[in-house]
Structure 1
Amino acid sequence: MDDDEFLKKIRTLYFRFPGNILTNIEDFDVVPMNADLTVISQFWNINTFIHMHDCFEINYIFKGQCEFVFLDEKRILKEGDFCIISPFTNHSTRLLDPDSQIFPILVKEQTFSKTFFPLLSNDDILSHFFRKILSNTDEPNYLLFQTSASPDVRFLMKELFLENFQYDKYVNQSSVHWLSLLFVSILRNYETYSQFSSYNNGIAYAPILRYIQSHYTTITLSELSKIFHYSVPYLSKIIKETTDQSFSSVVRKLKMRAAVQLLETTNDSIEKIAEDVGYNSSDHFYRVFTDYYGMSPTKYRKIHQET
């Protein structure tokens, strides 16, 4: 069914909430005792308030817009946004019009770290980003993906929501799998659209990350410091604290990842690939690639194009 028909149908469904969620409006959790996660539907005009959970809250903006308050920050989330909020963080979400629809997903902290953490173990800049959030759950953080109302993400979100109403012994296992697919889809397709807030860092790193990802072939740390108006030592420190890597390591990783893709998918010469990923000398590229992957670009291409 299309989105409008889906929303019309689900508004005939209802949830049973445990009574204890109303005992303290600042701190509550609605995940059933024997479940790893639950998905609810946020209704228009509901009384919103600043609160926290002992679990992760993942808000998917299915339709319209909502006002998101995170500590002392306020921003508007739009259709397709997928926002992950760390446990024990004061926050609230409020729909901005009657046609808006949010699906909050609540995931127990131990479930997130045990079940979903392997998805985030890839050797790329976003996974480092994600791991830092999940490994520092005492710090108030959120991660925001802008999926531009992706049909794949919307389909998976529908299936995850409807799974709540199966009421059989497979619900929990199936819900975990649907959420796993959601994470895979987002990590696969939307890594350049992530945003991050960390109040301990005191600096919004997301624009810096996006700029590095878009200009890695030519950007230098000195140029980056001028663009974002931070000193070179301070910016270098922030990049190291946020990614667990130096600026040069971040850039080299992006260059190597781009080079691998070109080696696997094109017949371009090594000289052209070196130039495309930001090396002035093919000899320099050859040495860096060999040191990074333990084999020359030529050997890498031969192995991977044969397979």
Structure 2
Amino acid sequence: MDAYFEKYRELENSLACFESWQNACMPHFHSNIEVVYVLDGEIEITINGTSRLLSKGCVSVANSYDIHSYHTPKESHTLILIVPIDTVHSYNTKIRGKTFASPFLNPGESSDEIYYALQQILKYKKSDWLETKGYLYVILGTLIRELGLKSSPKTSNSTLAREILIYLEQNYTNKITITSLAKRFGYNKDYLSRFFNSYFGYGFNKYLNILRSRHAVQLIKQTNDNLTQIAFQSGFDNYRTFNRAFTSVYNMTPSQFRVAYREQYKQSDNSGHDA
């Protein structure tokens, strides 16, 4: 079965940590790191073609753009962590061009450390980002130490797809066209355009606009820069293109998004003071 590109994970691009029961998911991939800790029962997990039936205390890790799927034979209870790659820059530098020697960790002291860190992330993820980020590095560092790293293989269409997505993730604020992308990977631009559309279910420009709009959202939330500045900082050529692309992705203009976010933040802040 061919893997599908999980679009909503790309658009959401936020840390998530949650429990799941009877988890089942077809082969898919996205730019996030996905860690699964088995709380109870058994779950069959496949990552890049390697399958393992995991039981209580086991851990799996699907790295950025790894193809993974889940199947529960009878019953399973798991704890799942989704980590956007742009929140763990040091980790990205460490594993660039590499993958885990094995994506599965057996029960033991190290998996217990990961479970403790996951519990703390569940507790702090909305109230203390600094502490949460510390626990993210505890989990990822433990996985690197226990599982080891090896060079990433270079084969198949799925590898090309992952390499394209990684390149775009690292360069979307720069000037990129389908022509320059095709030249970068050594393909005819018409072939690469068809490949992109059929593999990801998006046209190249649509996906690039999603990445840039997602970046703009973070700038709108974190800075007071004017929207024209944010447009250029996000890779758009002009404000008009930015406004149209952003509205297509988020169903509201950048200015409407800023007003809505500030109102939401104000209400949240007032609620905190009331408490």
Per the normalisation by structure 1, the TM-score is 0.43
Which has a greater percent of helix? Answer: 2
Normalization by structure 2: what TM-score?
Answer: 0.47
Q: Determine which structure has greater relative contact order: mean sequence separation of CA pairs < 8 Å that are 6+ residues apart, divided by chain length.
A: 2
- Bigger-Rg structure (1/2): 1
